[in-house]
Structure 1
Amino acid sequence: MPFGPAGAGPVRRAVITGIGVVAPSGIGVDAHWKCLLAGQNRIGRITLFDPSRYPVTLAGEVADFDALQHVDNRRVVQTDRWTHLGFAATRLALADAGLPELADDPYGYAVTLASASGGNLFGQRELQRLWRGPGRTVGAYQSIAWFYAASVGQLSIRHQFKGPCGVLAAETAGGLDSLAHAVRLVRRGTPVVLAGGTECPLSPYALTCQLRSGLLSTCPDPERAYRPFDAAAGGYVPAEGGAIFVVEELEHALARGVDTVYAEVAGWGASHDARHTGSSGAVDSVQYARAMRLALDRASVDPASVDVVVPDALGVPRYDRSEADALRTVFGSRPPPVSTQKALTGRAHQGGAALDVATALLAMRHGVLPPTAGPDRPAAGCDLDFVRDSGPRRVATALVCARGFDGFNSAVLLRRVPG
């Protein structure tokens, strides 16, 4: 066990022992993994509302999702689809880790998830009821279902996790920041923490907000709409879903005889550009590279030892180029293999970053890197070592990177635990 500063004693190690995936790629880790290995595109026409009046009609949705299979009706009517997805992913993660749904030691369990846009579908429905209904009222649960911390609160209540709970709001970067904060909580004495996040930015209001950025793809072809690092890249496709993780103190996990330790959250880094994310303007890669270096330094991992990088992959040309520049700044002229599957699922904000972590963990477990979804023709300056096949590979370390709108940068270093 590594030791902290002189006199501080041994440092508690935080490992991931459970994964719950609810995403366009499937419900559960097996469905997600099979989808990625097969390269199945799950982007399609939006069905959660009629998108025909909008320039963007495509998204990544969680097909055949029935919230009542994962949570009781009372909680379903009180919460938004974003939280329903969180309920489902949490149940899957707890089952995967072999932990009870109700905490046996409530103050030893915590929830620290990421959030971006909150309960969009619920909020839109209630506001339309206020504007159009004869009673001009909203339901009693509007204030809590739309609230950005709703999923954290509801999961804490549902599972009786009464340790230090919180929410991180850094758009896509928050999906990685939540893991970093989970490590801090483990080191401070909380043995089990839920981390990650889910998202559902698919309502007329939410889509309109995203359209204003000028970063969404308007391509009507699901196979061509989202092309990160490609010469034909024209923006991202929105998506819902994400992943929830059980982050656990290593000795606690071993003491209870856990079946699988996926990896240790060995290092993390965060920085900020102090720049607005928009349809024009320069993009600086300096702070993004700094976040990557911080993650490597905290893990005491040499850049040459990283086996794969899972990038943010926004699909906007100047952001893709700056991400490639950041990787070359950190790793030199030949960065490690790069793999991204967002072109198959869409970009689910903080849920998408969490999903990238799930993919990296499964690659480490199976010793296989899923092929990257494109690019067919890398754009100028984006000629990275993209994984082209899914053959066996050594995957002992993985660096997952994410950028949040308006300047947030995060990176997490995952390391396989020998055993």
Structure 2
Amino acid sequence: MSASAAPVVATGLGIAAPNGLGAQDWWTATCKGQSGIDRITRFDPSGYPSKLAGEIPGFVAEEHLPSRLIPQTDRMTRIALAATDWALSDAGIRPDDLPEFDMGVVTASASGGFEFGQGELQKLWSQGSQHVSAYQSFAWFYAVNSGQISIRNGMKGPSGVVVSDQAGGLDAVAQGRRLIRKGTNLIVSGAVDASICPWGWVAQLASDRLSTSEDPTRAYLPFDPSADGFVPGEGGAIIILESADAARERGAKIYGEIAGYGSTIDPRRGSGRPPGLRKAIELALADADVRPEEIDVVFADAAGIPELDRTEAEALGAVFGPRAVPVTAPKTMTGRLYSGAAPLDLAAAFHAIAEGVIPPTVNVEPSFEYDLDLVLAEPRTADVHTALVVARGHGGFNSAVVVRAAA
């Protein structure tokens, strides 16, 4: 096998989700169908048309990070740093024991540090520029999670950030795979987003894609006739990537292989050309050298917007056939976490492979027009060896990743 095609595997997971803090709590809640979507508590949402979100419960940054980091970081970065600590511990990695240039960081971001930026802008308007923190220069920035993770852990290898909205989490993992195949021993990847604050909320509302329902059980309903938008959330997953050979040499636990990746961009509206999602899926399958019938489950993007749900259902039907593969959207329990959503789906896929169970899609009463075999209400026992994760970003980004059990 050539170096360019060497298998890359996941050896550590760090999870922070609205329905569970830490991998075990999150997975237990997910299999039980427990939702983390509810009325916003981080600010008063009564004056906004959308009032629901998936908020992470019980995360107190001071319990996980040194006090010096608190004044210089946004909530999303604090969560990402804690999740990285958990992922490294899960992988059995002590960064101090490894050569600093053999470790890199590639994360994704969709919004940057909105809450930090809002606070500093309020200081600017109300108190003057001399009261604005110097940390504003980077705490808001899309790349700040990659930077802070690399600094905290002494990682000086190839690093970067990918910005492609919800698709970004898969794109970051794919870039991590490329870097490992080029010779970097370890990459911290995945993503965490958190922008549930008034400024961030107004920015999200501008998309006109948020549900305005005030019933947490009927607000985010992908593939349902009542779908009218999605519910945002905060959190995501940090994933430790290594070459399969290196992981086995050190006796690491291996969750599974990042086996295939494909990405496309949709054509402009009115062009008459088809959407790019089907092609992204086909590219991922070809990259993994698997046939459609070898996919045991699809973790759907699940936009919750009728037009986009229809596009996804048509793409899955074209690739796999009608109702030919189980499809699930556990993000109905968390909301859409932007760049953090797809890495969390990757983590769910690895757990599904390990435990032989497909997590459910909650609250949804699917429309027959989509012709999907949705896993509803209860988890489904299944022999899962290979899974497909699909993600799309606002602006036409499409990405797909195939993961499978390590050989």
Q: TM-score range by the shorter chain?
A: over 0.9
- Structural mapping, 1:334-373, within 5 Å: 334-373=323-362
Q: Secondary structure at the match of 2:192?
A: strand
In the superposition, the TM-score normalised over structure 1's length comes to 0.94
Residue aligning to 2:106: 112
Is 1:175 aligned to 2:169, yes or no? yes
Deviations 1:115-146 (A, max 9, x none): 11000110000001101125664111001100
Pairwise CA RMSD of aligned residues? 1.7
Match of 1:296 in 2: 285
Match of 2:373? Answer: 385
Matched with 1:405 is: 394
Unmatched tracts of structure 2, length 5 or more: none
Partner residue of 1:71? 65
Larger helix share, 1 or 2? 2
Residue 52 (structure 1) aligned to one of 46, 54, 79: 46
**Separation of aligned partners in 1, 2:129 and 2:221:** 47
Report if aligned partners of 1:341, 1:373 keep a CA contact under 8 Å in 2. Answer: yes
Partner of 1:188: 182
Work out which of the residue numbers 251, 255, 268 in structure 1 matches 2:261: 268
1:148 paired with 2:137, answer no
2:121 to 109, 123, 127: 127
**Cα offset for 1:285?**
5.6
Asked if the contact 2:267/2:273 (under 8 Å) is kept, the reply is no
Assess if the C-alpha contact under 8 Å between 1:285 and 1:322 holds in 2. no
CA distance in 2, matches of 1:230, 1:164: 43
Residues 338-370 of structure 1: CA distance to partner in whole angstroms, max 9, x if unpaired? 011122111110101111111111111111111
Which sections of structure 1, spanning at least 5 residues, go unmatched?
none
Q: Separation in 2 of the partners of 1:176 and 1:39?
A: 24
Q: Alignment length, in residue pairs? A: 406
Equivalent in the alignment of 1:98: 92
Deviations 1:274-320 (A, max 9, x none): 447xxxx9997631100000000000000001000001101011111
Question: 1:110 is aligned with what amino acid?
Answer: G
Amino acid at match of 2:264: S
SS for the counterpart of 1:155 is helix
Say if 2:218 and 2:363, in contact at 8 Å, map to a contact too: no
Q: Is the 8 A contact 1:327 1:335 kept in 2?
A: no
Q: Does 1:62 align with 2:51?
A: no
> Does residue 330 of structure 1 match 2:300?
no
- CA distance in structure 1 between the partners assigned to 2:39 and 2:130 by the alignment: 32
Q: Deviations over 1:139-188 (max 9, x none)?
A: 11001100110010000000011100000000000000011111100100
The answer for the alignment partner of 2:249 in structure 1 is 255
- Of residues 26-35 and 135-144 in structure 1, the stretch that sits farther from structure 2 once superposed is 135-144
Write the distance in 1 (CA, Å) between the matches of 2:12 and 2:329. 22
Q: Could you say if the C-alpha distance between residues 135 and 97 of structure 1 is closer, same or farther in structure 2, counting changes exceeding 3 Å? A: closer
The letter for the 2-side match of 1:193 is: I
Residue 26 of structure 1 is matched in structure 2 by 20
**TM-score, structure 2 as length reference:** 0.96
Aligned residue for 2:381, secondary structure, equals: coil
Counterpart of 1:158 in structure 2 is 152
| Aligned residue type for 1:401 | V
| Contact 1:103 1:159 (8 Å CA) reproduced | no
What secondary structure does 1:47 align onto?
coil
AA in 2 matched with 1:390: P
